[in-house]
């Protein structure tokens, strides 16, 4: 599934146009930075998932963030719609592929396109470093920030793309981004304040933060391609949307109860709920299949 989506994605304009555009913008950003002098300074608040760094690290990172975090992941809003509108997901689920594998394959392909585009910028990073005026640790953190932000936004776009109408896709994507922004405020800011900077505690919360919302996006897409929903069950997609609404509150409470040290506990707990909230019903191994009802020639 991943190979199929990646091969198709490399041929689409969703990859070619941003890839060419980011090369042109990167060259322009480099020229601007050459005339600016020092564009990066060492800071105690240099950490993953700190959006302020993109506006305080020179034009190059603004260009990289715009293309790899915003433009390319938004192309994922069309991925699941192709499978749902044409009924391809029903055929896929008749194969050994599970719902997780279908969604995971699309995510890895979309995220892979973002990473390929970002890796193409490494020569510019090397040039920036040798010219001088660049903080090496900040550049490393910015690389991880681009990759983590891209993963979360790709997952959110794939989850939103599973809704049929454009209004539904936009609404769910905005809800995902709003929940993402609100959930990260308390644990990340409080943990950075407790340790006077973005240290081990901050990045522990940041890793749980990114993993949780990546899983939320994939769980939302997985819930939309479930073939059978019993009358006594809550609609799976509504359960995941409920998680997006209540996660900021749960994480804030976990952060406050641990005095800012263990907000990641809330993220891990909500991620576990998302993982098990929509389990495909399966019969136990001890259940025998029904006898085949094959009519005989005498009938």
Residue 234, both tokens: 């809550």
- Please report the pLDDT score of residue 19 as a whole number: 77
pLDDT higher than threshold 60 for residue 97: yes
CA neighbor of 155 nearest in space, from 244, 235, 228:
244
Residues whose CB is less than 8 angstroms from the CB of residue 265 and which lie 6 or more positions away in sequence, other chains included? 254, 258
298 part of a folded domain = no
Q: Which carries the bigger pLDDT value, residue 51 or residue 289?
A: 51
Residue 34 pLDDT level (bands cut at 50, 70, 90): confident
Mean pLDDT, residues 97-118: 86
pLDDT higher than threshold 60 for residue 299: no
121 part of a folded domain = yes
295 part of a folded domain = no
- Please report the pLDDT score of residue 254 as a whole number: 93
CA 299/CA 291 separation, integer angstroms: 18
| CB atoms inside a 10 Å sphere around CB 99 | 21
142 part of a folded domain = yes
Average pLDDT, the chain: 82
Mean pLDDT, residues 248-261: 92
| CB atoms inside a 10 Å sphere around CB 19 | 17
154 part of a folded domain = yes
Q: Which carries the bigger pLDDT value, residue 181 or residue 88?
A: 181
Mean pLDDT, residues 79-90: 66
203 part of a folded domain = yes
- Please report the pLDDT score of residue 43 as a whole number: 66
Mean pLDDT is highest, among 54-68, 145-159, 188-202, 266-280, for: 145-159
Mean pLDDT, residues 82-98: 67
Mean pLDDT, residues 114-137: 79
What count of Cα atoms within 13 Å lies in the side-chain half-sphere of residue 124? 24
Least confident of 29-43, 100-114, 115-129: 29-43
Give, in order, the Cα–Cα distances in Å from 155 to each of 96, 127, 150.
23, 32, 8
- Please report the pLDDT score of residue 239 as a whole number: 87
How many domains, in total, are found in the chain? 1
Domain that holds residue 224: 2-276
294 part of a folded domain = no
Residues 218 and 154: beta-carbon distance below 8 Å: no
Radius of gyration of the chain, Cα coordinates, nearest whole angstrom: 22
Apex 89 CA angle, 86 and 90, nearest 5: 95
CA 76/CA 162 separation, integer angstroms: 10
Q: What is the pLDDT of residues 213-226, one digit of tens each?
A: 999 999 998 888 87
Helix or strand holding residue 141 (H, E) = helix 136-161
CA neighbor of 161 nearest in space, from 236, 235, 237, 93:
237
pLDDT higher than threshold 70 for residue 123: yes
245 part of a folded domain = yes
Residue 102 pLDDT level (bands cut at 50, 70, 90): confident
Residue count of the chain, please give it: 299
For the stretch 121-130, contacts whose Cβ atoms lie closer than 8 Å and that sit 24 or more positions apart, written own/partner, are: 121/22, 121/26, 121/64, 124/26, 124/30, 124/60, 127/30, 128/30, 128/33, 128/60
CA 37/CA 54 separation, integer angstroms: 17
């Amino acid at each position: 599934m991943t190979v199929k989506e990646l091969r198709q994605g490399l041929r689409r304009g969703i990859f070619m146009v941003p890839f060419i555009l980011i090369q042109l913008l990167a060259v322009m950003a480099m020229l601007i930075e050459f005339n600016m002098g020092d564009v990066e300074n060492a800071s105690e608040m240099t950490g993953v998932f700190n959006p302020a760094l993109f506006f305080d690290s020179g034009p190059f990172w603004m260009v990289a963030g715009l293309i790899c975090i915003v433009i390319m992941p938004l192309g994922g809003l069309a991925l699941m719609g192709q499978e749902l509108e044409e009924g391809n997901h029903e055929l896929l689920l008749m194969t050994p592929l599970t719902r997780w594998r279908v969604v995971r394959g699309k995510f890895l392909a979309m995220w892979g396109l973002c990473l390929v585009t970002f890796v193409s910028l490494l020569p510019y990073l090397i040039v920036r470093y040798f010219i001088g005026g660049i903080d090496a640790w900040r550049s490393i953190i910015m690389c991880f920030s681009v990759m983590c932000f891209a993963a979360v936004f790709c997952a959110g776009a794939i989850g939103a793309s599973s809704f049929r109408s454009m209004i539904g896709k936009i609404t769910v994507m905005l809800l995902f981004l709003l929940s993402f922004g609100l959930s990260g405020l308390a644990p990340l800011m409080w943990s950075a304040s407790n340790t006077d900077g973005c240290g081990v505690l901050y990045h522990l919360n940041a890793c749980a933060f990114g993993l949780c919302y990546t899983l939320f996006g994939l769980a939302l897409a997985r819930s939309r391609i479930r073939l059978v929903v019993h009358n006594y069950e809550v609609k799976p997609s509504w359960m995941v949307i409920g998680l997006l609404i209540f996660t900021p509150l749960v994480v804030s409470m976990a952060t406050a109860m641990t005095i800012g040290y263990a907000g990641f506990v809330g993220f891990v707990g909500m991620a576990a709920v998302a993982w098990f909230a929509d389990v495909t019903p399966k019969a136990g191994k001890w259940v025998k299949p029904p006898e085949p009802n094959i009519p005989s020639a005498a009938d």
